[in-house]
Amino acid sequence: MRRSSLMVAVLLLALLAGSLSAAAQGSLAIVFDVGGRGDLSFNDMGALGGDRAQRELGVTVREVESATTADFLPNLRALARTRQYDLIAGIGFLLQDAMAQVAAEFPNQKFAIMDGLVEGLPNVMSVSFADHEGSALMGALAATTALELGADTVGIVLGIEIPILLRFEIGYRAGVKWAVDRWNEMHGTNESVKVLHVYTGAFDDPARGKTAAEAMLGQGAVVIYQVAGATGLGVFEAVEEFARAQGKEVGPPFAIGVDSAQDYIAPGFIPVSMMKRIDTGVFTAISRALDGTFEGGATLLTLAEGGVSASTLEDNIEMMNAAIEAGTLTEAERDELLAGIQRAREAVPASAWEALYTLDHLIRTGEFVVPQALDAETAEFYREILQ
Amino acid sequence: MSQLPAEPAARPKQKAAGAGHMLRGALASLVQVVLAAGIGLAIGAIMMNATGYDWKEAYHALWIGSFGDRWGLFDTLADATPLILTGLTFGLCFRAGYFNIGAQGQMIIGALVAVAVGSSLGGVPTLVAVPLVVLAAGIAGAIWSMPAALLKVTRGVHEVISTIMFNWIAIYLSGYLVFNVMNDPRSAERTVRVAENVRMSALLPGADATSALFISVFIAVFFYWLLYHSPWGYEMRVAGFSHDALRYAGANPMWAVNVTFLLAGLASGIAGATQIIGRPPTYALYGDLSNLGNFGFDGIAVALIGRSHPLGTILAAVFFGALSTGARMMQIIAGVPLDMIRVVHGVVIVALAAPELWSILRRSISRRVASRTAPAASGPAAGKGAQQ
């Protein structure tokens, strides 16, 4: 008797569980930017978001790569036409035009674009990330590192002077200012840290990034944050060459990466990167599409919501494993890169890490609000007051 | 002139061929194509099977995605549009005996000029503006192919070297122009968009093909007429066989070189324009040239599959377009990753191009043997000419 009732209970539970998981099931399609899986950047992070949705929500995921930018439109259309997906996510702003068109053609299909903006369509969620908050963390680490090393200069090399990049620069300055104030309060000193900034005018010109970084190093910058796409690769090169010329295998000087965990690019010289969490973006979008809270329009994922973060060693490992899965990296290469990343992280003064994580906490709790600048005038205003 | 042999270069045996022989020849090459495609697809199936993908589902998806419904068909035609033109570039030069690898660069230049002209023609009636853009892009492509021809004629520089060099110059020039001169201040990654009145409309709503397709087909037919029904085309083809023969016939081989390169460049320049004004949704050129893809280099394979015949090139381009369009559904329905799909496509393409590659090899061997066995008859001057 007891046994049979137990069995009934188990059966009921199983049924319940079955119906619960069935309710949670859904399907997600991800359209990657050109370059596809294995780019150790946005595409791989988007794929990680899909993996997480599969794991935690039981969602089935279909990944579609694009050979050229001309494939975006037909790829999105073909997916929308199947009417099988609860959400179609596009990775990267290059898909903007195509998504705007397809979303208008299929008003009942939900879309999400990562790090891009599709305006005026209720079925597209445009996910952007609080770059200013993440950049402030980088500023705190950079300034404290400089003070700890007895230096007084840090730098930031940027791409073209567009509004979104002003947000990075002012956020970085705010982090520097916060860290310097904190340092002076703790040590009873009156130190200051100068922030050098250069807009190189290009996102694809490593030579310009290198020239800009070399000039900053010549003026005594010990940490340089790059926000310049491929131009920033020149920043990494300049920092590494500068250090190696002095016989160093590891920084200082240091460079800071952006968008994804770029720490592996110059192992030993990039202790941290400001990550835009495309994975969180994809996961958030599919979750909202499934639980009915999906809303079109611009959505800013803050630091507190996991939209940006300082890269950790685990982030690097996770991403490299994704690259191994995609066949672009071997395990031996991964271990060697990780050793270099570890060396760079250890070379940064502990107090600098402490400053970064303290500021991270303050931003999360809302105790510190990072100023935003999206036009030249506001940026100039903050440059003045953040001296 | 039209009563001249259709194939003076390749098959001397066919000289006395009647209509029956030609039909048999066409049938034979059709059998050859079907066989080659079959072999390629079979190898592709084995490879997909070995890596754990359902080849039947994958090929079904390939069919659905490329010809299975009207959208698939029109997306296929959209990809075929530039490929017809870049295929003509290689094919025309090949008929005249040259390896023009410069389609990619000529296409880039055409695209740049299409943006420059297309963005400044706002308000001009479409029927005037579109031909202007196309013509300007074509002329730009033609001009870009001239240095290779002139270097060939005056200095004997091999066209493979010079056209590859000019591809690189075009790539770097485009980088400079896109980011510094034609840049859209709101979208740093690309140029400004062309004016709305020069954007060609879709043939079928919901698919990518535009009326640019007709331009491609028109030029292919024009090249066919030129090559096989005009005296100039005859000279080009004879030049492909032997410069000495052409000189003996009283024509100037250098003239043939220049005209061939000009027309070839024209086609690829227009290919660039079709990707700017005839392909939704961006109507601009990306700084990394990602919306031009590899159409220039793919044109070489298209021409080889199409046996360097303008009409064969149309068919080959449609087939090629079907492969790239079908790749979409192979990913969506069958879940085969794009890298694997590209491998399978590569195998099919190599299988299809193999017969033509083999005949190139055989021809060049037999030519070398012929020049070695009869040195006295041709003389030193002729030997020099043959080497060019």
User: pLDDT tens digits for B129-178?
Assistant: 999 999 999 999 999 999 999 999 889 899 999 999 999 999 999 988 99
- Asked, as a colleague might, if the bond just before B147 is cis with ω within 30 of 0, I would say no
The label of the residue with tokens 């080959």 reads: B316
Q: Is residue B87 part of a domain?
A: yes
Per-residue confidence (pLDDT) for residue B377, from 0 to 100? 43
d(CA B115, CA B150): 27
Per-residue confidence (pLDDT) for residue B208, from 0 to 100? 93
pLDDT at B114 > cutoff 50: yes
B281–A74 CB contact, under 8 Å: no
The minimal CB distance from A68 to the residues B179, B293, B332 is found for B293
Per cent of chain B over pLDDT 70 is 90
B65–A202 CB contact, under 8 Å: no
Q: Is residue B204 part of a domain?
A: yes
* AA identity, residue B122: G
Q: Is residue B7 part of a domain?
A: no
For the stretch A289-292, contacts whose Cβ atoms lie closer than 8 Å and that sit 24 or more positions apart, written own/partner, are A289/A26, A289/A86, A289/A87, A289/A110, A289/A112, A290/A24, A290/A26, A290/A57, A290/A59, A290/A86, A290/A87
The minimal CB distance from B287 to the residues A79, A101, A204 is found for A204
Q: What is the largest CA-CA distance in chain A?
A: 85
A81–B175 CB contact, under 8 Å: no
B332–A64 CB contact, under 8 Å: yes
B71–A77 CB contact, under 8 Å: yes
Confidence of residue B33 (pLDDT cuts 50, 70, 90): confident
How many domains is chain B built from? 1
The DSSP code for B192 is: P
d(CA A363, CA A92): 26
Through-space distance between the first and last CA atoms of chain B, rounded to whole angstroms: 27
A74–B75 CB contact, under 8 Å: yes
Q: Within chain A, which residues score under 70 in pLDDT?
A: 1-24
Contact A175, A136 (CB under 8 A): yes
Per-residue confidence (pLDDT) for residue B42, from 0 to 100? 95
The minimal CB distance from A73 to the residues B175, B208, B329 is found for B208
Contact A281, A117 (CB under 8 A): no
Q: Domain holding B71: CATH number?
A: 1.10.3470
What residues in chain A have their Cβ under 8 A from chain B's Cβ atoms?
29, 34, 36-37, 62-65, 67-71, 73-75, 77-79, 81-82, 94, 97-98, 100-101, 105, 159-160, 162, 202-205, 327
- Write out the H or E segment, with its range, that includes residue A331: helix A331-347
For chain A, what is the mean pLDDT? 91
Per-residue confidence (pLDDT) for residue B9, from 0 to 100? 45
- Backbone phi, then psi, for A355, in 5-degree steps? -60, -45
Chain segment B243-297, per-residue pLDDT in tens: 788 888 787 878 888 999 999 999 999 999 999 999 999 999 998 898 998 999 9
Residues of B with CB below 8 A from A101's CB?
Answer: 280-281
B385 Cα to chain A: minimum distance (Å)? 42
Name residues whose C-beta falls within 8 Å of residue B279's C-beta, 6 or more positions apart in sequence. A70, B78, B81, B208, B210, B212, B291
- Taking phi over 0 as left and psi of -120 to 50 as alpha, with beta for the rest, A327 belongs to left
Using CA coordinates, name the residue in chain B closest to A72.
B281
Contact A111, A90 (CB under 8 A): yes
Start-end of H helices in chain B: 19-50, 55-63, 70-95, 103-118, 126-150, 159-176, 212-229, 231-241, 243-248, 253-277, 295-305, 310-332, 338-373, 375-387
Residues of A with CB below 8 A from B70's CB?
Answer: none
What residues in chain B have their Cβ under 8 A from chain A's Cβ atoms?
65, 71, 75, 78, 175, 179, 185-186, 188-189, 206-208, 275, 279-282, 286-288, 290-294, 324-325, 327-329, 331-332, 335, 337-339, 342
Contact B273, B137 (CB under 8 A): yes
Per-residue confidence (pLDDT) for residue B18, from 0 to 100? 60
ipTM of predicted complex: 0.83
**Which residue has better confidence, A129 or B359?**
A129
B332–A77 CB contact, under 8 Å: no
A79–B332 CB contact, under 8 Å: yes
For residue A230, how many C-alpha atoms fall within 13 Å in the half-sphere facing its CB?
A: 9
Per-residue confidence (pLDDT) for residue A241, from 0 to 100? 96
Per-residue confidence (pLDDT) for residue B316, from 0 to 100? 95
Using CA coordinates, name the residue in chain A closest to B293.
A68
**Can you list the domains of chain A with their CATH numbers?**
23-129+279-301 (3.40.50.2300), 131-271+312-385 (3.40.50.2300)
A70–B275 CB contact, under 8 Å: yes
The minimal CB distance from B331 to the residues A65, A203, A205 is found for A65
A98 Cα to chain B: minimum distance (Å)? 6
Confidence of residue B372 (pLDDT cuts 50, 70, 90): low
B327–A75 CB contact, under 8 Å: no
Q: Is residue B371 part of a domain?
A: no
| Contacts across the A-B interface (CB distance below 8 Å) | 84
The minimal CB distance from A101 to the residues B281, B286, B337 is found for B281
Per-residue confidence (pLDDT) for residue A369, from 0 to 100? 96
A245 Cα to chain B: minimum distance (Å)? 31
pLDDT at B12 > cutoff 60: no
Per-residue confidence (pLDDT) for residue B11, from 0 to 100? 44
Chain segment B71-86, per-residue pLDDT in tens: 999 999 999 999 999 9
Per-residue confidence (pLDDT) for residue A5, from 0 to 100? 59
Range of the domain at B298: 29-365
Using CA coordinates, name the residue in chain B closest to A101.
B281
